[in-house]
Structures are given as C-alpha cells and as structure tokens.
Amino acid sequence: MKVNLFPNSNPATDAERTEKIAAGGFGKYYTDNMVIAEWSEADGWKDADLTAYGPISLDPATMVFHYGQEIFEGMKAYSQPDGSISLFRPDANAKRFARSAARIALPEMPVDFFIQTVEALVKQERNWVPTKVGESLYIRPFMIASEVGLGVRPSNKAIYLLIATPASAYFNAANAVTVWISTEFVRAAQGGTGEAKCGGNYAASLVAQKQAATQGCDQVVWLDAVERRWVEEMGGMNLYFVKGSGKDAVVMTPKLTGTLLPGITRDSILSVAGDLGYKVEETMISIDDWRDGVASGEITEIFACGTAAVVSAVGAAKSTHGTWTTGDGTPGPITKQIRETLLGIQHGLIEDKHGWNVKVC
Ligand code: PLP
Ligand code: COI
C-alpha cells in the first residue's frame, strides 16, 4: 500500500496560513490537504490518496450515520530546533487505532500504512507546523463504516481519513482546570468500549459535560460504573495525583482496569516522572481518597494529561459529595516540571532517551 500524492492546487497563501496558525486554539482551521483510503471486505485496503481538504459526499443510508461505527486517534507533529519536524510515538497511535478498530468491528489498518499516511500529510503540510514550544500540528486520523444499508451488522466497507489542524493550548496552562465528578452518568463499564477511542464514547459523555458546565466546571471526571467511587479519567484526558512534595513525592495514576483509555501521554509520564526521580504508581484512587487527601494536605497536586491537553493542572473539584480544591488552586511545581519535561522532549530540547521522537522531514 502506498500514498498517492494529488496535493491541493490552490493552497492557502503564506499570509493566510500565517494568520491561521497565529489564531491558535484547537481545531479552528484545517490544512490544505487530507488523506483518504478505502477498505472493503472483498478487496482489503486500497492505496491512500493525499488530496485537497474538503467535504466528502456520502449516501444518507451510510452505516456510520445510523449505528455510530467510528474510531479516531489524536497525535501531534512538533517543530524541532534544527527546523525538522518529528512525530511523537506514532507507532503507539497506530497500534491503539488497530485495537480500537478491532473492538468496533472495523478493519485493522496495518501499522506501517497508518504511519505512512501520517508522514505523507506532515511532509506535505510542513509549513503548517507552528514553531513555538507548546504549539504543534494536531493530526486526527479517523475511520468510518461506509457500507450503505440499515441492517445492524459490521460494515463491509470503511473509509479512513486524516486531517490536520494547527494547535496551541487546549487549556490555558497558567490556569488550573475545574472538574465536575459525575456520579449520575458513567463513561464505561467492563466489557464496554472504554478502552477504544470510538466516537460513541464521546457522544455518551456530552450530557455530563453539559452538566459540568452548568456547575461552572471545565471538564467531567468519570468514576467506575459499579461502585461509582474509583476515579477513572476525564473527558479527553487521563489523571495524575501527586502525594507529598519534593524528591519524596509519589506520582500516581489510576490503574488501567479495562474501562479507561490507555493514554499515550499517561504512559509517557510514567517514564518521565520516574526519570525525574519520583516514585511512580499505577493504583486505584477513590473519590474519598481524593477528598480526604486534599483535606489533609497529603495530595498536593493533580493534573490531567493527553495529546490535546498536554499537562493541565486540576484545581477545584465539585460533585454531589462536596467541593474541594487541591493546593492553592494553581499549577504546582511537579505538574509544571512534568509538563516542561514532556514538551521539552517532544520539541527536541531535552534528550529523548526513550527514542519516542520520529523525524519525518
Ligand atoms: N482519555 C480520553 C477519554 C481521551 O480522549 C484521551 C485523548 O486522546 C486521553 C485519555 C489521553 O490519551 P492520549 O494521551 O493518548 O492523547
Ligand atoms: C486528544 O487528546 O487527542 C483527544 O482526542 C482529546 C479530545 C480532543 C477528544
């Protein structure tokens, strides 16, 4: 399989592109091109095409519109000090995309083909990659069920698409995010789709996100489906808790029980925090541990992490169990150190001793 190049013959001018990159934010503007590849049960994957970004036309009876058979990924290309561009752990996204596909009965895309499509788009759009630390080109691979029909069965056709958008901060790094701990709704249960990055998980989360906004909160924190007390993750991020301070601090994250999305940032921070000399734990953390730990001062910092959000401090937490704030409600020293170290590695400013960066061009 290969990527055929039919790039946009009418791309943004330098001035238009500069303006769009400077607008920052997340998902405001898209680059000039996209990649599209089709799969069918009969013929497998066809070559991908890199073509001008634009609308796609689908029959109203296309299965994805009815039964939500869709998966996606989120990854970033980072500008390096020598002017080159690198991806961060693209193999991890490719493998998770294949696992998500398997769970949703979509075709698994070969890891090499997935990476080839991402590299082709990044090479084509290299001028769209912002150069400041903390800014990057966010890449969104996704796949939809494209068979036309209303029968409820796995689609025998699929379309893979890849789009990119210049991104700055998802949240303002100077502020802590406020969270609403949902005890009414659940994100995932054992045997469900919590480990998969499928659109349906996000659709099901939005009513709780709305509730969070009503409560004056930025994000939802999900608890386990059975006891409604074990902290799992947030709407689009994993969570970390810091116990103690200085070199004796313990950096903890909820264990992957089968219902959490196994975040690539989460996994990277397990190594980064260890490299910085902290004790690292994957464990079970309850809502009581959170509230009591904050009250006693044992829990000193909390942060959320993900590709889009990078590392963002969590300040006030609200729920039907009460309201409490970690530390003084501003990003703590270990949160800042981990954020800066991770961004430093991604931008080639700190030694990449785990070999995570893959140079594209
Ligand atoms: N949890 C959820 C529900 C997410 O959507 C994301 C974002 O991708 C994450 C966690 C963090 O994953 P990653 O670090 O791979 O971006
Ligand atoms: C990401 O961090 O890539 C995500 O997918 C989170 C959110 C924007 C859905």
pLDDT in tens, 8-19: 999 999 999 999
From ligand 2's centre to the CA of 355, what distance in Å? Answer: 23
Q: What is the DSSP letter of 328?
A: T
Domain 3-167 has CATH 3.40.50.12280: no
- Reading the block at residue 124, the tokens are 């084509």
Residue count of the chain, please give it: 361
φ and ψ of 128, to 5 deg? -90, -5
Spatial neighbors of 142 by CB under 8 A, at least 6 apart, are 70, 71, 72, 73, 160, 161, 162, 199
- For the segment 198-220, the average pLDDT, to the nearest whole number, is 96
pLDDT digits (tens, 9 = 90+) for 150-185: 999 999 999 999 999 999 877 777 789 999 999 999
pLDDT digits (tens, 9 = 90+) for 23-65: 988 899 999 999 999 999 999 999 999 999 999 999 999 999 9
pLDDT digits (tens, 9 = 90+) for 285-329: 999 999 999 999 999 999 999 999 899 999 999 998 899 999 888
Percent of the chain with pLDDT over 70: 100
Closest C-alpha to ligand 2, atom 3: 74
236 C-beta closer than 6 A to ligand 1: yes
The full 3-state SS of 150-219, as one line of letters, equals CCCCCCCEEEEEEEEEEECCCCCCCCCEEEEEECCCCCCCCCCCCCCCEHHHHHHHHHHHHHHHHCCCCE
Pocket test of ligand 2: the residue of 219, 237, 260, 310 to mutate, having most ligand atoms within 8 Å of its CB, is 237
Closest C-alpha to ligand 2, atom 9: 236
Q: Which atom of ligand 2 is nearest to the CA of 26?
A: 8
Cα dihedral 7, 13, 19, 24 in deg (nearest 10): 10
107 C-beta closer than 6 A to ligand 1: no
Whole-Å CA distances, 298 to 111, 289, 327: 43, 10, 10
- For the segment 192-213, the average pLDDT, to the nearest whole number, is 97
Q: First vs last Cα of the chain: how many Å apart?
A: 21
pLDDT at 182: 97
pLDDT digits (tens, 9 = 90+) for 186-196: 999 999 999 99
- Reading the block at residue 90, the tokens are 């693209």
pTM of the model: 0.97
**CATH top-level class of 177-346:** alpha beta
From ligand 1's centre to the CA of 305, what distance in Å? Answer: 8
- For the segment 255-276, the average pLDDT, to the nearest whole number, is 98
Rg from Cα positions in the chain:
21
From ligand 1's centre to the CA of 260, what distance in Å? Answer: 9
pLDDT at 25: 84
238 C-beta closer than 6 A to ligand 1: yes
Spatial neighbors of 312 by CB under 8 A, at least 6 apart, are 170, 171, 173, 176, 177, 237, 303, 304, 305, 331
Q: Where are the domains of the chain?
A: 3-167, 177-346
For residue 29, give the H/E element and its range: none
How many other C-beta atoms are found inside a 10 Å radius of the C-beta of residue 209?
A: 19
Query: What residues are in contact with ligand 2 under a 6 Å CB criterion?
Result: 74, 236, 306-308
Nearest to 320 by CA among 175, 207, 177, 185: 185
265 C-beta closer than 6 A to ligand 1: yes
From ligand 2's centre to the CA of 236, what distance in Å? Answer: 5
268 C-beta closer than 6 A to ligand 1: no
